[in-house]
Amino acid sequence: MHELSLIQEAIRIAEAHAKAANANCINRIILRVGALTGAVPEALEFAFEVARQGTLAENASLEIETVDPCVSCLDCGHQYNCEGWELICPQCGSFNAKIIKGLELDVKTIEVA
């Protein structure tokens, strides 16, 4: 359940930016979460319900934008979207893949007032 640690960090980052902009509250937090990360969107949402209490994000909504995986084959150079961790290259059959997208775990945008 490291999603609680992650979401607490998201709120900490959001609060720091909101305070720097002299905002009184955070209305919305948008996260960017790659499909290959260890973080589960549902668990992030659940953790957010607890973690937002008593913060500037107390009444904020949480939105999660998922990023589909994209990998590059280190053998033939082919770039492709894979289904989950099925890293096999459709062109040459290699598993020798470098992950280009799908490991994101970012605070993308916040909306403050």
Partner 1 sequence: MEEVDMCRECGCGSSRDDNTIKIFKPSEIVEGITISHHEHSNQLHLERQQSISPKHINIDISLLHANNRIAERNRGFFYAKGLFVINMISSPGSGKTTLLAKSADLLHQKGLRLGVIVGDLASCNDASKLEKAGIPAVQVTTGRLCHLDAQMIFSALQRLPLDQIHVLVIENVGNLVCPGDFDLGEACRVVLFSVTEGEDKPLKYPYVFHSANLVIISKYDLAVAAEFDESSALENVQRISHHAQIIKVSSKTSEGLEQWINWLVKTREEFLKGQCVEPIYSHH
Q: Which residues bind partner 1 (CB under 8 A)?
A: 1-2, 5-6, 9-10, 12-14, 17-18, 21-23, 27-28, 31, 36-39, 84-85, 87-88, 94-97, 99, 103-113
- Alpha-carbon distance 66 to 84, whole Å? 12
- The dihedral built from the CA positions of residue 27, 46, 109 and 24, taken in this order, carries a sign that is positive
Asked whether 78 and 89 are in contact (CB, 8 A), the reply is yes
> Least distance (Å) from partner 1 to the CB of residue 79?
16
| Two tokens, residue 78 | 């082919």
> Whose Cβ is closer to partner 1: residue 28's or residue 78's?
28
> Least distance (Å) from partner 1 to the CB of residue 54?
19
> Least distance (Å) from partner 1 to the CB of residue 90?
15
Helix axes 3-20, 41-51, angle to 10 degrees: 60
